[in-house]
Chain A
Amino acid sequence: MAVRVYSARRVVTMDATTPEATHVAVRDGRILGAGGPELLGFYPGAVEDARFAGKVIVPGFVEGHAHASEGMVWRRPYLGFFDRTMPDGSTAPGARTRADALERLRTLEAELPPGEPLLVWGFDPIYDDGPRLHRRDLDAISTSRPIVVSHASGHIINVNTLVLERSGFSADSNLDGLLRDADGLTGELMGPPAMQRATRVAGGGGLMQRLDEPGLRAFARQAARAGITTATDLQRKLDDETLDLMRRVTAEPGFPMRLVAALGAREYTLAEGVARIGQLLGTGNEKLHLGIVKLTVDGSIQGFTGRLRWPGYHNGAPNGMWYIAPAELEGIVAAYLRVGAQIHIHTNGDEASAVAIDALEHVLARCPRPEHRTTLQHCQMADAAQFRRMAALGMAANLFVNHIYYWGEQHAALTAGPVRAPRMNAAATARREGVPVAIHSDAPVTPLGPLFAMWCVVNRLTSKGRVFAPAERLDVAQALHAVTLGPAWTLRLDHAIGSIAPGKFADFAVLEDDPFDVAPERLREIDVHATVVGGVVCLP
């Protein structure tokens, strides 16, 4: 096979031996080496490829916590505040004001065939100081067609009066999860029982449907556009049909992404889950990595379902929910570790993190397992002492730094409160205490975008422009590590991806600007020119 030597304005390798280069040599989809123009002379017949001559090459980004439903949510119209890019490359414009949002709904309603419900997602009223969205607003759009507006947080929906009526909810129902004012119900519903019922009678299933082929391809397109060359689908029922789809599509030479599919433990009983992951270990391919199990311990902080330590929620809300009971976790961790799975544990609140750390410590004392790399996902409220224990136990943290921007103000006002909110996602402390750090989007919760996540962790700005704990900022090199080698380590793939070094896959993100040159506040504006996956160029 021919050797191709890409030349670029600059190659940032994240490899300590050759940190910087201008050329990178590739053969058979793998990296021969990075260096200067002399590389051309090392390999007879090598071809110089100058198409990235003015660009900056960095290791392909690794998204350590996303969901393939990012490729599917776009089947429903988007009503969020921020502009977002859809899988076809077009922009879904943000609705900046209440009037914009209602106008968008009016247009969508007019285009829908009669009888079909109007179901939209991504609504984010926290940037809106006006009154809360009311069923009257939606009734003004239609009284004869069910309307369901799902919020970006995933924990609230707004519906019109028709949906309330069909649900059996009225001013005459006094049930948990139905918001009311002097005129009766407002049409805002919280909590799974009420939300599921309203969505069902409106004629719309959940957004997390079974993964299908167009959805998986759209997910990969979204990833490529963001410079991502490896992405996780971090909670999935991995039945034969889903696996067949993943195996077939990822085996295509042109499929522009490596996929890490994590078995969602909550989709199985413990015995079934352990048996299933045992069957899957080692059965992937070069672009499909299996063997990770995802456990979910608590809920979300903005939904008040995360489990917090003292003093709990700032607004006095009761503590959140356990999805796995603390006493059960140890047995679950032990069973999955014993079969050889790698474990990623969703813990948002610090009480949940404490329980996960305790469980792992007990398991490792009985059955030590080198290189287990158990990773806490989100881990938003961990403090220095928790990070020290995590480091001692060989754990990693994948921090949800995008929260600083998207929900930081809300955390300060309501959840963690003004003192603890700025301390959330303490990336610098985690690093200082020796914990391997990754940062993530949890797409579709926030948009796929490692450069945006880097911007968040480097600047720590809220949506209102407040800086949260500057001492917890990472520098650009550390931030780049947290979207490349950092997450690669948490996926046990750092031998193959995450840096530009001999023998690794030729996975690159090709950027228009140099993240080390632009002003830190402009990191999120850097355009992705292309990605290279296994030596195959993918132009978004």
Chain B
Amino acid sequence: MIRLLVVGGFLGAGKTTLINRLLARAERRFAVLVNDFGSVAVDAALLAAADASSMTLANGCVCCSIGDDFGLALERVAAGGPELVVVEASGVSDPWRIAQLALVEPGYELGPLVVLADAADLPRLLADPAIGDVVRGQLAYADIVVLTKTDLAGERLVQTREVVRTIRPQAHVIEARHGEVGLAELDFAVPHERARFLATAAHPFRTWTWRDPRPFDRGALRALLGALPASVLRIKGFCGLDEEAGDFLLQYAAERWSFTRSGAGAERALVVIGTQALDPAYLAADFAAALR
């Protein structure tokens, strides 16, 4: 499955700078989908080929315009077999609306929703009557918030961290002084399996895996998904449902979820990613109660 990373944030938050740096450094072979194709500045030395709506880099990365239909763009870019697709949401759009489509887009799995915020300007934007609601909405489902321009923020940095915590307490907040963020930091960094509950500052997220071959009761599973604690950020994996033959692929993110029939063959297991407040004992009891 191709991991999909959605990067949102209001105008001026530094999305384009971040994307340009990720492309220039390219730790993995990935594709970028952007709204404003003209703003992507790729060093000519890195460029292998380009046309009106896409660029191919010597390091194997591609950058494409989203165009009119986001789903179509995802389908096209998947054909190139990237390891990861990064989508830059437009500065006035709600990145979460885009991200949740990845829950049903065949071949994709939803990585974290990353929202950038100008550390020096965020409190002012939130107080603006015309756009405060838009900026708040962008942060409302973020898994990772990247504070940019922290060197310019001075004492406002404290206030900015406070408003982010108020809007989205679950989000992991990182600081990027000059857009210097590695791709690895923009994913759910979790410790190795053996030490998975020894979360450290380097591992802001926890993971826990539910393994049980028995099927769930469909209604009970839906109810469970509708009432998960806020510490659960993602669930992904395969499970059985009722007495139906075969497996279902379950994807959950921020109160939205989808299970679709799967080609099967995989182990029945659900991987849960959450904040450090994730409580496996509590979840295990809930999952067990939802079994058929």
Q: Which residues of A contact B (CB under 8 A)?
A: 167-170, 172-177, 191-194, 196-197, 200, 206, 269, 271-272, 307, 318-319, 321-328, 351, 355
Contacts and interface: CB of A to CB of B under 8 A. Distances in A.
Contacts of A167: 104
Going nearest first, the 5 A-B pairs with the smallest beta carbon separation are: A168-B104, A269-B38, A173-B258, A172-B259, A322-B92
Interface stretch (B53-61, B66-74, B274-282): B66-74
A196 B103 contact: no
Interface string B70-86: 11100000000000000
B97 interface: yes
Contact of A351 (B38, B71, B101, B130): B130
A269 B97 contact: no
A325 B258 contact: no
Interface in B69-122: 69-72, 91-94, 97-98, 100-101, 103-106
12 contacts: A173-B260, A174-B256, A175-B101, A176-B100, A191-B97, A194-B101, A196-B70, A200-B71, A206-B68, A269-B39, A321-B93, A328-B11
A271 B38 contact: yes
Contacts of A271: 38
B142 to A, nearest CB: 16
Nearest to B68: A206
Given A193-B71, A325-B92, A318 B133 contact: yes
Contact of A326 (B72, B100, B106, B131): B131
A168 B71 contact: no
Contacts of B38: 269, 271-272
Given A173-B257, A193-B98, 5 more contacts: A172-B259, A193-B70, A193-B71, A200-B71, A355-B130
Contacts of A176: 97, 100, 256
B10 interface: yes
A170 B250 CA distance: 13
Contact of B69 (A168, A170, A196, A324): A196
B92 A323 contact: yes
A200 B72 contact: yes
A322 B70 contact: no
Contacts of A307: 130
Interface in B127-162: 130-131, 133-134, 137
Contacts of B225: 174
B162 to A, nearest CB: 24
Contacts of B101: 175, 193-194, 197
Contacts of B27: none
A168 B260 CA distance: 7
Nearest to B253: A175
Q: Which of B71, B92, B98 has the most CB of A within 10 A?
A: B71
Contacts of B70: 192-193, 196
A480 B226 CA distance: 57
Contacts of B97: 176-177, 191, 193
A325 B10 CA distance: 9
A175 B37 contact: no
A55 B219 CA distance: 70
